[in-house]
């Protein structure tokens, strides 16, 4: 009898442990990201839970931040080289849209304009665009020429249209880097920063780091010399701690990983921390109240957004910290409105337009771009200027700016010919060369 009860107890214990493990795995999928339960179950995949905790090298292999761990259903995003089916694509589309909520993460919400910008339309059908929308992870395609929208296509209902709509706040990924640059231009024009050669020597957290006393154009051009400390692949993981730069406050990184560092050569090296520092510095110089006021003036008053948008801080930064990321969530038409505002500034030679022109004048060579396929707008241009990719083949010297983000988010602006193409996607599996490059 005792043996019988022992077997029952052991069996129940095994089931309990198994259920607990399964529940812990399920929580990462079901719980709100960055909620207390999400962190408690170690869903963030990091060992370092405190912004003041020093990296424990014995745990680095276990604690590497891998946003693709758990794919196909339990990772943060779709790996760039994956070939997801429609079911997986829908799963991540829902997930990407859900990330726009700020309930469990600090950030800024910019309320929609009371008088949003209305577009003029002179529409034509583009059969290739329609074909790509029906066969790939492409969600939205907007072409704007000489003041009018000439192509306006969205994923059909029987594809992803029941999930993705005109009012869906969609993830910017690294397109947000270019928008942070545009925000910086407005801060310069308001006198908070003296210009693109403004020295970063008046923020105490930068002292004894490689960024101290550098001109801000170095960071804008991804040429701050931080390549000795941040991995080149993805530009977001520290070599010595494996911490992910979009997870913690910039104050934490300056205190730990960047303490007593010196810059390498002034050359292009794609690093997310450059952008986060730029945005955070603008926030520091202005203060939260004036910064939020400026955001409203830019996006609600000037751009004329039709729907609310959000700009995120790091999940482990406090709301009171001057720490910002380039992560944004904006609707498809409002992304185009932002690009139109840039185009108008350029054409009208406003202060912000002069800022954009100065970025073109100070662009740098990216080096070998390794463009090996037709899907990648990121590696195609030869130059980089102020958080924009510049210099597409056939028109290397023309002012054609590209905002490009992971998964295929892309806006291309031809300032000389008043043309913009804005696309959104779940995964970068469409033919960018035919969809976009061929139009310029």
In tens digits, the chain (440 residues) has pLDDT values of 444 444 444 444 444 333 333 343 444 455 444 333 333 333 444 323 223 333 333 333 333 456 677 899 999 899 989 999 999 999 999 999 999 988 778 999 999 999 999 999 999 999 999 999 999 999 999 999 999 999 999 999 999 999 999 999 999 999 999 999 999 999 999 999 999 999 999 999 999 999 999 999 999 999 999 999 998 777 889 999 999 999 999 999 999 999 999 999 999 999 999 999 999 999 999 999 999 999 999 999 999 999 999 999 999 999 999 999 999 999 999 999 999 999 999 999 999 999 999 999 999 999 876 555 666 788 889 999 999 999 998 999 999 999 999 999 999 999 999 999 999 999 999 999 999 999 99
Question: 242, 320, 260, 230: which is closest to 62 by C-alpha?
Answer: 242
Instruction: Write the DSSP string, 187-198.
Output: HHHTTSS--TT-
Q: What is the DSSP letter of 230?
A: B
Q: Give Cα separations from 410 to 38, 143, 150 (angstroms).
A: 31, 12, 18
Question: 243, 241, 252, 220: which is closest to 321 by C-alpha?
Answer: 252
Residue 103 backbone dihedrals phi, psi, to 5 degrees:
-55, -40
Instruction: Write the DSSP string, 396-411.
Output: TTS-EEEEEETTTEEE
d(CA 180, CA 271): 14
Copy the structure tokens of residue 290: 């004036």
d(CA 317, CA 247): 8
- Whether the CB-CB separation of 279 and 326 falls below 8 Å is answered with yes
- Whether the CB-CB separation of 412 and 440 falls below 8 Å is answered with yes
d(CA 64, CA 50): 15
Cis peptide before 72 (omega within 30 of 0): yes
Q: What angle do CA 62, 27, 23 make, to 5 degrees?
A: 90
Locate tokens 């004894």: which residue? 208
- Whether the CB-CB separation of 78 and 71 falls below 8 Å is answered with yes
* N residues, the chain: 440
The whole-model pTM stands at: 0.86
Q: Give Cα separations from 429 to 157, 275, 434, 435 (angstroms).
A: 20, 26, 12, 12
């Amino acid at each position: 009898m005792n043996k019988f009860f022992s077997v029952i107890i052991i069996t129940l214990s095994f089931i309990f442990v198994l259920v607990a493990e399964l529940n812990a795995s399920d929580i990462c999928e079901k719980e709100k990201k960055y909620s207390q339960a999400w962190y408690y179950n170690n869903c963030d995949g990091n060992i370092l839970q405190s912004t003041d905790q020093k990296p424990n090298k014995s745990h680095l292999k276990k604690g590497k931040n891998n946003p693709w761990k758990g794919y196909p259903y339990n990772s943060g995003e779709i790996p760039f080289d994956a070939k997801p089916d429609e079911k997986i694509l829908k799963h991540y589309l829902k997930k990407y849209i859900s990330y726009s909520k700020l309930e469990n993460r600090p950030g800024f919400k910019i309320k929609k304009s009371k008088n949003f910008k209305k577009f003029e339309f002179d529409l034509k059908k583009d059969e290739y665009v329609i074909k790509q929308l029906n066969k790939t992870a492409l969600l939205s395609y907007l072409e704007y020429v000489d003041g009018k929208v000439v192509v306006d296509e969205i994923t059909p209902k029987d594809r992803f249209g029941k999930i993705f709509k005109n009012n869906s706040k969609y993830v910017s990924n690294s397109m947000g880097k270019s928008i942070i640059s545009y925000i910086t231009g407005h801060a310069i024009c308001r006198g908070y920063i003296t210009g693109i050669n403004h020295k970063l020597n008046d923020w105490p957290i930068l002292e004894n780091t490689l960024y101290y006393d550098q001109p801000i154009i170095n960071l804008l051009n991804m040429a701050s010399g931080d390549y000795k400390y941040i991995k080149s692949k993805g530009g977001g993981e520290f070599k010595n701690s494996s911490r992910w730069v979009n997870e913690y406050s910039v104050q934490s990184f300056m205190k730990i990983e960047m303490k007593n560092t010196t810059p390498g050569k002034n050359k292009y090296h794609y690093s997310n921390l450059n952008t986060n520092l730029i945005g955070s510095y603008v926030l520091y110089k202005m203060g939260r109240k004036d910064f939020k006021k400026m955001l409203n003036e830019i996006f609600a008053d000037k751009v004329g957004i039709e729907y609310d948008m959000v700009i995120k801080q790091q999940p482990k930064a406090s709301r009171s910290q001057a720490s910002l990321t380039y992560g944004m969530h904006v609707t498809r038409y409002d992304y185009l409105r932002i690009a139109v505002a840039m185009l108008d500034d350029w054409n009208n030679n406003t202060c912000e337009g002069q800022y954009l022109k100065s970025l073109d004048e100070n662009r740098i060579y990216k080096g070998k771009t390794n463009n090996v396929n037709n899907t990648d707008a990121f590696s195609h241009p030869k130059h980089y200027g102020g958080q924009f990719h510049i210099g597409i083949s056939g028109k290397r010297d023309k002012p054609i700016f590209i905002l490009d983000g992971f998964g295929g988010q892309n806006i291309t602006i031809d300032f000389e010919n008043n043309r913009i193409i804005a696309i959104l996607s779940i995964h970068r599996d469409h033919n960018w060369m035919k969809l976009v490059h061929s139009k310029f």
